[in-house]
Amino acid sequence: MNISFFVLFSLFSLFSSSVVAVEAPPNPYAELDWHIGPKVENIGSKATLKTDQSLAFLDEENSKKYLKLTGNIPDAGNYILLSIKDNWWASFSFSSIGYVKDDEKIDSDALLQTLKDQDIASNAERRKMGLHELFTQGWYTLPHYDNTSKHLEWGVKILNNGKEELNYTIRLLGKTGVMNAILISSPETLNNDVQNFKAALSGFEFNSGESYAEFKEGDRVAEYGLAALIAGGAAAVATKKGFFAAIAGFLMASWKIAALAFVGLLTWIRSLFKSKS
């Protein structure tokens, strides 16, 4: 569904009973090719996502445009999901790192320090691209792993241009790698948004041959485990490849995402769909 229209509003004159139609500046989000559910969307060649009428989805090319508009690195391989009724949006991307063994214990204190240490290199990249620096403040939700669903989850407080924002991340483990699903929300609505995001993930399914349960002997195994997935992969391989080389790929994978003027932005984008209906 391609939404390309201008938002019009009426201005009543203080000195006349006539109505003057004024054309507002074009809304760049309206130019994106939003897919309104219910649909079955492809997330690259690895998985599909069934959406309902409360969700809007962007393909890879339009997702790059969306990320740029919201002050993020316009990475290839990202797919955006947005709630039309709630206060959140999310990014999906796949990391082809192989099968991640899930028998590792997670030290949340050590991981938090690793994330903070990585801010230095991450922000150097963001400055080169003219983007605001992002700083890890602490856990909102401690890392935890569900052995049944094969989902690794955690929530991080992010300081963006002096304002606190939240990234809630879910890594969905597959046979050939990991699907990274990052929820962008605000502190006031996060608990409700997480529940609705997880409900949306019930429509997620790895393609045939890609599920975690389909692993067999001889398939590629990842160099690292659960803890390194939280740290962007750098923690486990830094000693082998050097710290900056290790995290370079993950900096480009938008594992930490900023929300630009979050509440106003979401209200503005949602108005597109309400106006259309």
Q: The tokens of 69 are what?
A: 């508009």
Q: Helix (H, G, I), strand (E, B), or coil: what is residue 1? A: coil
- Helix H, strand E, coil C: the string for 173-189 is EECCCEEEEEEEECCCC
- Which DSSP letter does residue 101 get? P
- Widest CA span in the chain: 80
Q: What is the pTM of this model?
A: 0.76
- In 3D, which of 130, 173, 137 has the Cα closest to residue 155? 137
Q: Where are the domains of the chain?
A: 8-276
Q: The tokens of 179 are what?
A: 């699907």
101 in Cβ contact with 186 (< 8 Å): no
Is pLDDT at 20 greater than 60 in this prediction? no
- In 3D, which of 257, 230, 140, 143 has the Cα closest to residue 187? 140
Tell me: the pLDDT tens digits for 21-42?
Answer: 445 556 788 899 999 999 999 9
Superfamily of domain 8-276: Mog1/PsbP, alpha/beta/alpha sandwich (3.40.1000.10)
Q: What is the pLDDT of residue 14?
A: 31
> How many angstroms separate the CA atoms of 140 and 156, rounded?
5
